[in-house]
Each structure stands twice: as C-alpha cells, then as structure tokens.
Amino acid sequence: MDRRIEEVKHHYDADPEGEWERLESHPFEFILTTWMMERYIRPGDSILDIGGGPGRYSVHFAKRGCAVTLAELSPGNVELARRKAAEAGVELTAHAVNCLELDGLDLGRFDHVFLMGPLYHLLEEADRVRAVEIALEHLKPGGKLYASFILLFAGLLYDLQNGGHIVSDCANPAAARLIDAVAAGQDYGGPAFTAAYFYHQRNILPFMERFDVKKLHLFGQEGILAPNYRDILSRDREEQDQWIALAKQYLELPELLAYSEHAMYIGERPEAGEPEIRRGLRRLRGKTFAEGGVVIRELRDDDDLWYVTAECALGPGQEAFVNPAGFSIGRAYLDPGSGVPCVICLEDGTRIGYIIFREWLAAGAAFNWSYYLDRRWQGRGCGERAARLAVRILREADPTAPIKLSAEADNTRARRLYEKIGFELLDETDGDDLVFCLRPQC
C-alpha cells in the first residue's frame, strides 16, 4: 500500500469514535448535507458509500430504509460502523477496502454513490480521477453521485475558530503554502491533519466537468455557519433554527462557498439515451493532449480567453472562412454539453491558436471541430500537427464516432489539409459548404 494511503489509514484507525463524534460536535455539516441529499434519496434506494468513515451517513440512510453498502479504507471505522448499525437496528454491508480497489468486490450498480472522503486524501490527480471513475462505474444510469471536497480556506477557518495557531501556521512552510494558495487560486496537497488535498472552490467544477456526469448542485456543506459554529450552538433553539434556515437559503451561492470547510458536488449519471457524441465530448473536459510538439488543452483562465478572443490574429483573407472564437465560446456557454473550447500551444506553453471540439450540427451524429492558428505561426507545419492531434483526441473520446468537417469550396488550404490527414469528400453539403468525413475506426 502507498505510504501516504497507509498514513491516512492509521490516522483513522487511531480514533474511529473521534471521527463519529466530529459530526456530532459539528452538526450543521450533517444537517445541511443530508437536507440536500434527501432531495433525491428515497426509502428502498440502494447506496454505495465509498470512504464513508465510521458510517455516519450510511447508518442515517439505512435508518431511512435504504440498502447501504459501505466501502471504507480503515478497518477501525468499518468495525465501528457495523456496531453503530447494530445499535440502530439496521442492516449494513461493510467492507474494509481501498477506494481504488473496489473492482474485486463485484458490488454491482447502485441508485446513489457517495464519495465523501477519498478526494480528501488522494494527493495525485490521477488517483482522484480514478476514484471518481470507479464511483461512476458503480452508478446506475440516472443515478446520483455525491462527491465531497475539503475546501482550501478550511485551514484558515480552523485558525479563525481556534485561537493561538495563525502565527505558527504562517511560519510553518507547509501551512504557509496552503495560505498562499488561497490568493493564487491554486489547490494544496500535502501534510495537514494527515495527508490531505484541499481544493480551491473555483477548481472543483473544472475537475468534475471531465466526467460523464451532469452537475445538479455544488454547495458548501456547512453553509455560512462554519466560522462561528460554536457560538451559534450556544444560542437558543429558535435562533439556531433561523441560522440554519438562512444557511439553506444561501447554500449554493458560489461567492459564499469559502465560508464552508467542505463542499459537495451532486451530479447525475446520464441516462442511456444521452447522445454518445456529447458523452464523448464530456470525456475531454479538463484534459491536456500533446503530440509532435503541439499541445491542446481546455481554456483555463482569463489569459486563455483573452488570447483566443483578442490576441490570436488571422491571416489576410481568412476572416471569410472562420467564425470568431467568441461566437463558438458563447454557444458552448449557452449549451455546455455541446462544445469544449481549447487553446493550441507549443510545449513551452506559448499559445499559437484556438480550437473547439463540438458536435456536428447538421444531419448525422458526428464529432466536429473548428480551429485556426495565429498568423505568426502559420506556414510552420503547426496547423497540420494540431489537426492530427485533434483526430487523436476525438478517437480517444469515442473511436466509433465519425468526424465531420466543413469548408467553403474556395478554401483550398483547408481542403488540401483535410484530404492529407485522411478525410474524404462526401456527396453532401452543409449549407453552401463542402463536407469531409473521417470514418470511425470500428
């Protein structure tokens, strides 16, 4: 077992009761989180709780009539979860297992999958991606995923709640890296209460957009109550209830996410009827592809957006053949599943062009792209290399889908390029444009 995973396992094995009591002493997280989850979870539903600790949520939903399976890293937590379930008089199936090693259990698919712990502790992005993929593999079509993240500002919230720490934390290199990451908009992964990964709130959706799941909610699990939770708990019941009601009202406001220590993403696995092209495009979210000295990656920030909409200049006469980047980016914004806007770069990060992967809008299901290079980089072979990389990207997204491109009849440069990389001219048109197709591989 990886040393850092072993560290996390020992951390939770050391005090399972303490982890159970954490939600008792921080009740607002549990109250607000179950309030959101119970919009979708009904008696009789099946639930897989991956990394669910000592089973606080597992037991709660088992008491509500759900068939719950807990898959938890810590044997101590699993033992406590079984005992709590027995005390509550409910059935609970529980396994002590690494979240990345569920395949051997043959668990099947569930109506709901909780991923409320693993993303706190997997420091490598590939492991976090795989954890979400495994969760989705165990989710029925139309089922709901509930994924929790530790928010980056949680470290500072702790120091706000508990005096005597901020001076030493600012002098501690690891804590100082976390504090600096807040202003930089970056995540932090490394030593904390144990090996832990803290997400900047603005990085959660880009992470989740790469998966085949439709966003339903993103909310702070403590709402606005975390900074002052102890004082609120000391007040009378009527005032507490009023604060809880206000927290529910503000729960999904993105500008208030940093008031919480944890955030939850609730998403829905698409029904089988969702177009395969859109599912393929979703697989491109958040990824970076490189080949032949050219890199294609999704737009990340304002600098990327400014480059493709304002700085990337077309060559003479090319405006007649290419829609402005802002148009296709706007269309992808209005219909998020329809396109993935990307920047084309060199290996050193120099931006040289723009490409958007999207669904073919004319008859027949197919992938499509539209792209152009900055005129300063034209005539150097970069356009062909970008086009070949684009083919590889869409083949990885779905090798069974055709790729269709259109070009004006007098755009000889585009026609030559498409035919050179394997596209054939079809006996059909897209308005006045010619249509070229690269047949599926299988």
Q: What is the pLDDT of residue 103?
A: 85
Q: What is the pLDDT of residue 335?
A: 80
Of residues 355, 353, 358, the one with CA closest to residue 336:
358
Of residues 8, 91, 17, 101, the one with CA closest to residue 47:
91
Q: What is the pLDDT of residue 395?
A: 92
Q: Which amino acid is at 126?
A: A
Q: What is the pLDDT of residues 309-359, one digit of tens each?
A: 999 888 877 777 777 788 888 888 788 778 999 999 999 999 999 999 999
Q: What is the pLDDT of residue 274?
A: 62
Give the CA angle between residues 133, 131, 46 to the nearest 5°.
75
Angle (deg, nearest 10), helices 75-88 and 16-25: 60
List of the chain residues with pLDDT < 50: 442
Q: What is the pLDDT of residue 272?
A: 66
Q: What is the pLDDT of residue 442?
A: 45
- What is the number of other CB atoms lying within 10 angstroms of the CB of residue 305? 16
- With tokens 């900055």, the residue in question is 374
Q: What is the pLDDT of residue 1?
A: 59
Distance between CA atoms of residues 109 and 347, nearest Å: 41
Q: What is the pLDDT of residue 131?
A: 96
Q: What is the pLDDT of residue 273?
A: 61
